[in-house]
Amino acid sequence: MSTETTTAPVKVKVPKEALFSVKNKRLIYDPLNDNNPITVQVLGICSALAVTVKVKPSIVMAIAVVAVCACSNVIISLIRNIIPNRIRIIVQLTVVAAMVILVDQFLKAFIFDVSKQLSVFVGLIITNCIIMGRLEAFAMANKPWPAFLDGIGNGFGYGLILVIVSVVRELFGAGEIMGFRIIPESVYTAGYFNNGLIIMPPMALIIVGIYIWIQRSRNRKLIEPN
């Protein structure tokens, strides 16, 4: 049957990958569009909807998620070979929780008012499925550098949706962006009113729904069969 080969497996020298090779760049670009964590992977929706009333808290939230996601990806990727498989969820949660405590204390120390607005949602970064999902799907099987890029990319993909939704909501809900008035007073005197409904939480869902609609009609391969 099979002839036994006694030769030792030839060591193939893997050329060292450039820091920003095409593959690594894809790790950052993909989550921004084709593989967006919110609209395609359906991860991390909870906090995305609740903090998007104003632009400023959503940017802070996005930065916090990028930081936590990138750091915990790197840490898990470094220790991936020594984590026992059965208790990996608890190990991952502990690492993420430690990161989130750091971020929470940082926010409380330097931007207290925003931290107050975000209330429980900073703590909820621990259970943000983007972070857990990326840890499970990517960091457990990859080296630290790609894991870092993956964390950054997914964090930004999440941030992108947050910023889009919050810009729409603050613009139509309050007529301003980041506290600067965009819709001039003269429009108000002509009989324009702020849309009070759009500040309400449900409209965030509908805006994301419409965003998904636009994204999928431009990119037809994302359409679900049913």
Partner 1 sequence: MDSVNIFIKAVFIENMIFAYFLGMCSYLAISKTVKSSVGLGLAVIFVLTVSIPVCYLLENYVLKAGALSWLSDDFATVDLSFLSFIMYIATIASIVQLVEMVVEKFAPALYASLGIFLPLIAVNCSILGGALFMQEREYANVGEATVFAFGSGVGWFLAIVALSAIREKIRYSNVPMPLRGLGITFILTGLMAIAFMSFMGIKI
State in angstroms the smallest separation of the CB of 84 from partner 1: 14
State in angstroms the smallest separation of the CB of 154 from partner 1: 14
Cβ distance to partner 1 smaller for residue 16 or 86? 86
Site of interaction with partner 1 (CB under 8 A): 39, 42-47, 49-50, 89-90, 93-94, 97-98, 100-101, 104-105, 119-120, 123-124, 126-129, 132, 200-206, 208-210, 212-213, 215-217, 220, 223-224, 226
State in angstroms the smallest separation of the CB of 155 from partner 1: 17
Cβ distance to partner 1 smaller for residue 123 or 144? 123
Which pair of structure tokens corresponds to residue 111? 């931007």
Cβ distance to partner 1 smaller for residue 18 or 210? 210
Distances in Å between the alpha carbon of 164 and those of 103, 171, 206?
23, 11, 13
Contacts with 68 (C-beta within 8 Å, 6 or more apart), sequence order: 96, 99, 100, 103, 125, 131, 155
Query: How far is Cα 198 from Cα 188, in angstroms, rounded to an integer?
Result: 17
Cβ distance to partner 1 smaller for residue 179 or 201? 201
Query: How far is Cα 123 from Cα 100, in angstroms, rounded to an integer?
Result: 7
CB of 41 closer than 8 Å to CB of 158: no
State in angstroms the smallest separation of the CB of 133 from partner 1: 9
